[in-house]
Amino acid sequence: MQPTILAVASGPGHAFSKQAAAEILLLAGLGVAGDAHAGETVKHRSRVARDPTQPNLRQVHLLHAELFEELAPLCFALKPGDIGENVTTRGLDLLALPAGTILRLGASATVALTGLRNPCYQLDDFAKGLMKATLGRAADGSLIRKAGVMAVVREGGVVRPGDAITVTRPDGPQVPLAPV
């Protein structure tokens, strides 16, 4: 199955959810045009409070639609954009990809994966128990964060639902994604 983009979303304010859109424009080195989290330096409020000069490793939030299906039996009815993602994918195990993986989104946009989204209390503000539902444990007891991955934009371009996703893993050692 060819990985595809199920939905795209953006939001101009620092609201938790983002509005679904017919398309988004990715800007190289910045993120999603018109999105509150776009920029060369951090835009997430907690990170700005700590050090506003940090590089923005969270320009684009990608989430696998399969998580919606996993959470549905637990009575969480989520739709694209609900938990703040910009790009909702289908057919791609985002969490298993190594840091530095390049994803071509559609015809020309590319993003480089920087790390995992660390689930936070805002998930519970959105739906009670959602934070716990987006966490799991591996066989070795380590924590599994399921709330998607973060990326930076390498090449800009328009991204739309239905666009194909092409994966290029980095050369050399494959370093697992860690929270950013």
HSE-up of residue 157 (Cα within 13 Å, Cβ side): 14
- Please report the pLDDT score of residue 14 as a whole number: 87
- Please report the pLDDT score of residue 45 as a whole number: 80
* Domain definitions of the chain by residue range: 4-168
CB 177 within 8 A of CB 98: yes
**pLDDT for 58 beyond 90:** yes
- pLDDT digits over 24-34, tens only? 999 999 999 99
Number of H helices, E strands in the chain: 4, 13
**pLDDT for 125 beyond 90:** yes
- pLDDT digits over 88-101, tens only? 999 999 999 999 99
For 4-168, CATH gives: 2.40.33.20
pLDDT band at 46 (very low <50, low <70, confident <90, very high): confident
Integer CA distances (angstroms), 81 to 19, 88, 139, 178, in order: 6, 8, 30, 22
pLDDT band at 111 (very low <50, low <70, confident <90, very high): very high
Please name the amino acid found at residue 85: E
